Amino acid sequence: MSSYNPALNLTNDAINVYDARDVPSATPQHLTDLYNALHAKINHFTVEFLQTNKVEPHVVFKVNFSSPIGPAGVIKSATISIEMSGGAACGTRGPGACRIELCEFPGRTARARAGFQFGLVRRATLANMIQLINGVCPELPRTMRTDMKDFDFVGINNSITGCRDWIAQAFVRLHAVGLVDWAIQGILGPDGQGLQRESLQPSSRLPVTLIDWRGAGFHDVIGKVFEPP
């Protein structure tokens, strides 16, 4: 499980922020940016570890769209995460909310300690991913057809924990239906190019040197704590 401070601005490049429960209400006339984002083709999928405090990072999904969306074409990416829904003090149990942030920067989020890109096995959209989180996709095994928007954080030692578990369960669903590959495709860099393939080679400069990057998968990184780059 990971710990974070909900008062921090985690992504700092968000243009619009939505609750995943808003998705059914999105139409071309209402919540237009969300509607367009939900149906836009995704060409990159990343798991990011955001720096939030001195304990462990907050883990989120980040996707890049194949083409910019929105009236001015400024929306280039989005994040999906589980966040405190409000009303709970730091260090206490509280309900979570699945949040969608539309962002203008396609590279690694400013606060990311690390970002790992995974290959998309087939055409994917944000709507596909939310459907899997909702547990309504017929391709999911029956044991995975629960609504992951119903989630509670747990407070331990003045930190709120749970996002890493949520991301792990969501990733397993994405992989189970053949949407994303399990193997790490690359490490997301801070520049506009994003993928740094040379970083897959074992090196003392990597945030974690015990991982064999030549065959690393999601299970190799989800339980790790990364130092700031």
Q: Supply the pLDDT for residue 133.
A: 93
**Helix, strand or coil, per DSSP, at residue 165:** helix
Cα–Cα distance for residue pair 126/119, rounded to 1 Å: 15
Q: Supply the pLDDT for residue 13.
A: 57
90: number of Cβ within 10 Å: 15
Element (H, E) at 118: strand 112-120
Name the residue with tokens 């907050």: 58
Residues near 79 by Cβ (< 8 Å), separated by ≥ 6? 11, 14, 48, 60, 61, 62, 63, 99, 100, 101, 103, 109
Q: Do the beta carbons of residue 95 and residue 85 sit within 8 Å? A: yes
pLDDT in tens, 184-215: 988 875 544 444 544 444 334 444 446 777 78
Cα–Cα distance for residue pair 23/198, rounded to 1 Å: 38
Cα–Cα distance for residue pair 61/179, rounded to 1 Å: 14
Residues 207, 213, 218, 224: what is their CA dihedral angle, to the nearest 10 degrees? Answer: -30
Give percent of the chain above pLDDT 90: 45
Q: Bigger pLDDT: 199 or 57? A: 57
pLDDT in tens, 103-127: 998 877 878 888 899 999 999 999 9
Distance of CA 33 to the CA centre of its chain: 19
93 band by pLDDT with thresholds 50, 70 and 90: low
9 band by pLDDT with thresholds 50, 70 and 90: very low
50 band by pLDDT with thresholds 50, 70 and 90: confident
